[in-house]
Amino acid sequence: MIKEINGFNPNFREIICKNIKKYRKEQGLKLMDLAELLDISPDYLKRLESPSDMRKTCSLTLVYKLSLIFDKKTDDFFKE
């Protein structure tokens, strides 16, 4: 049996989605501009920013790129 992981938040995906959108808006970047910087489609980014859209998930590589673009630590994306 696997022990419960202390501090695990099952809503972490929603938190990441909201933070991507929040940091993009703080930087004044349009969705299309950020998608171009990340070399992904605007539709893919739009789905990543939507916590209710479970079709897309964010890779560690993408989180790392976002952290560089937004000048944030990767763990900032997991904080509420």
CA angle, 21 as apex, 57 and 60 as ends, to 5°? 35
Domains of the chain: 12-72 (1.10.260.40)
Whole-structure pTM value: 0.86
For residue 70, the tally of other CB atoms under 10 A from its CB is 19
What are 35-72's pLDDT values in tens digits? 999 999 999 999 999 887 776 778 899 999 999 999 99
CA distance 14 to 59: 14
What are 1-20's pLDDT values in tens digits? 456 788 888 888 899 999 99
